[in-house]
């Protein structure tokens, strides 16, 4: 089977070959191309040593950050291409990184060290497939290259990668590979949580309806109460937009997390503060948020962000289309729902002789609620008049 390569990738392969080296595209880009998907990255492997690769492409910008493991990054037309020397890995003593790498001259040994058969194929004019990766692609199977226990003992993150590929590609994990996942799951505790996060977030954004139930024991290692995940959760999750904040919120709400649990879990998973704050806002306001009418929705928007409200609407999955139409109407008609939308400000009240800052804040909030409740107009004259009345009430 022929794979159509971008011109720059063809150029890199040809350039290496012209200089007496062998070269292939390898790994995920081969897998995706065979699945008729457009690869996001084109990784290249070669028997040229890193210094030799640098010499071949001396006229181009090269980044050497991965050179310790045989990888250089070549920049052509503002696109990055990783070129890695064929290698075998030394012993894995930390369940993540090889102690050393050894450069080799043929592609065979390089493919033997890879994680799954569908990722262990190379291509240059023809496919090099030593582990029946094409067959597993056809049968929609995730299977380790060689012995699964060995692969997961070398690098425990491969456990999460197997689940991620199963979720994203909608493939089944082969039985021996699955058994090794469960028997070696504790090795994941040796993996940096940032790396767990990367795989977990991709699983969360997948369309899989089954992995949450099938691999709940694995998620329980870093997500307490995961044992309660079921097929209903997976079905509901797959219906949500592929928005990380919305899906995280849905997950934690389903697990009945308290605010404290949610904060602790999200921090442990190394999510950025922006996402944590958004998820907490959704969880805190989930039960009390109403949006059945324009008035309800404006009141909700006075307390939470528009994106949080949309997430809540989508998670509750009731009258979504009608609710989003009302939200659109609120925005198109510039209806007031924030303090900044009021036709007066704190400065206007100060000019009128209001002096207590805390009291001014309370009055402005009351004015906003009165406008939303349509009990006063959003005009400076009406609001100042109402402010005088409120001042007397609040004294």
Per-residue pLDDT tens digits for 54-79: 999 999 999 998 888 899 999 999 99
> Residues 87, 18: one domain?
yes
**Percent with pLDDT over 90 in the chain:** 86
| The predicted structure's pLDDT at residue 37 | 94
Whether the predicted pLDDT of 389 surpasses 90: no
Contact predicate 280/257, CB 8 Å: no
User: Are residue 184 and residue 310 in the same domain, yes or no?
Assistant: no
Tell me what pLDDT residue 90 has.
57
* Cα–Cα distances in angstroms (integers) from residue 46 to residues 8, 21, 27, 43, in the given order: 16, 7, 13, 10
For range 331-346, the mean pLDDT: 94
Query: Distance between terminal CA atoms of the chain?
Result: 82
Look at residue 98 in the predicted model and tell me its pLDDT.
57
In tens, the pLDDT along 300-333 reads 999 999 999 999 999 998 889 999 999 999 999 9
Do 218 and 124 belong to one domain? no
Confidence at 87, pLDDT banded by 50, 70, 90: very high
322 and 347 housed in the same domain: no
Nearest CA-CA partner of 29 in 51, 53, 12, 15: 12
Give the pLDDT mean for 124-150.
Answer: 97
pLDDT score for 101: 77
pLDDT score for 210: 94
Among candidate residues 37, 36, 48, the one with its CA nearest the CA of residue 12? 48
Q: Check pLDDT > 70 for residue 96.
A: no
Average pLDDT, rounded, for the chain = 93
Within this chain, do residues 226 and 327 fall inside the same structural domain, yes or no?
no
Same domain, 325 and 275: yes
What are the Cα distances from residue 7, in Å, to 214, 259, 291?
42, 52, 52
Question: Which CATH number is 100's domain given?
Answer: 3.30.460.10
The verdict on 54 and 87 lying in the same domain is yes
pLDDT tens across 220-269, in order? 999 999 999 998 999 999 999 999 999 999 999 999 999 999 999 999 99
Q: What is the per-residue pLDDT for 2? A: 84
Q: pLDDT category, 352, cuts 50, 70, 90?
A: confident
CATH assignment of the domain containing 201: 1.10.110.30
Checking if the pLDDT of 393 tops 80, the result is: no
Closest CA to 46 of 116, 124, 131: 124
Same domain? 162 vs 209: yes
* Structural domain count, the chain: 4
- Taking the mean position of all CA atoms in its chain, how far away is CA 29? 20
One domain, residues 225 and 190: yes
The pLDDT confidence band at residue 100, using thresholds 50, 70 and 90, is: low
User: Quick check: 91 pLDDT over 80?
Assistant: no
Asked whether residue 4 falls in the same domain as residue 88, the answer is yes
Confidence of residue 93 (pLDDT cuts 50, 70, 90): low
- Please give the pLDDT value at position 391: 79
Last residue of a domain, one of 132, 158, 190: 132
What is the reported pLDDT for 318?
A: 87
Per-residue model confidence (pLDDT) at position 92: 54
What's the pLDDT score for residue 394? 67
Boundary of a domain, candidates 335, 350, 380: 335
From CA 220, how far away is CA 199, in angstroms rounded? 15
Last residue of a domain, one of 293, 314, 335: 335
Whether the pLDDT of residue 357 is over 90: the answer is: no
Distances (CA, A) of 36 to 33, 117, 127, 137, 151: 5, 18, 15, 11, 28
For 273-280, what is the mean pLDDT? 97
Token pair recorded at residue 136: 């597993």
Higher pLDDT, 100 or 214: 214
Say if residue 286 is in the same domain as residue 352.
no
Same domain, yes or no: 174 and 106: no
pLDDT of 99 over the 80 cut: no
User: In this structure, what DSSP letter does residue 6 have?
Assistant: P
């Amino acid at each position: 089977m022929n794979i159509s390569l971008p011109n720059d990738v063809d150029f890199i392969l040809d350039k290496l070959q012209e200089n007496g080296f062998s070269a292939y595209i390898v790994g995920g880009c081969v897998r995706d191309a065979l699945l008729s998907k457009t690869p996001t990255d084109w990784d290249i492997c070669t028997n040229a040593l890193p210094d030799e690769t640098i010499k071949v492409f001396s006229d181009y910008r090269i980044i050497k950050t991965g050179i310790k493991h045989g990888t250089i990054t070549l920049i052509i037309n503002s696109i990055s291409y990783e070129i890695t020397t064929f290698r075998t890995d030394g012993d894995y003593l930390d369940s993540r990184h090889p102690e050393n790498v050894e450069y080799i001259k043929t592609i065979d040994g390089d493919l033997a060290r890879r994680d799954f058969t569908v990722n262990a194929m190379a291509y240059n004019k023809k496919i090099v497939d030593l582990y029946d990766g094409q067959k597993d692609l056809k049968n929609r199977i995730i299977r380790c290259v060689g012995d699964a226990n060995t692969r997961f003992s070398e690098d425990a993150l491969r456990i999460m990668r197997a689940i991620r590929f199963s979720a994203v590609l909608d493939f089944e994990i082969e039985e021996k590979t699955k058994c090794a996942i469960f028997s070696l799951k504790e090795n994941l505790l040796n993996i940096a949580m940032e790396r767990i996060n990367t795989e977990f977030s991709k699983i969360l954004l997948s369309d899989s309806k089954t992995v949450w139930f099938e691999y709940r024991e694995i998620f329980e290692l870093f997500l307490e109460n995961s044992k309660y995940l079921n097929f209903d959760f997976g079905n509901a999750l797959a219906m949500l937009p592929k928005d990380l904040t919305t899906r995280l919120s849905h997950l934690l709400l389903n697990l009945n997390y308290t605010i404290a649990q949610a904060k602790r879990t999200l921090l442990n998973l190394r999510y950025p503060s922006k996402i944590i704050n958004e998820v907490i806002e959704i969880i805190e306001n989930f039960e009390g948020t109403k949006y059945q009418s324009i008035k309800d929705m404006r009141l909700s928007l006075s307390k939470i962000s528009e994106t949080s409200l949309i997430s809540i609407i989508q998670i509750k999955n009731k009258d979504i289309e009608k609710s989003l139409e009302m939200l659109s109407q609120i925005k198109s008609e510039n209806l007031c729902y924030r303090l900044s939308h009021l036709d007066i400000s704190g400065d206007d009240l100060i000019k009128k002789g209001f002096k207590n800052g805390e009291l001014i804040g309370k009055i402005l909030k009351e004015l906003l609620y009165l406008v939303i409740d349509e009990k006063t107009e959003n005009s400076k004259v009406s609001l100042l008049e109402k402010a005088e009345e409120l001042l007397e009430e609040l004294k």
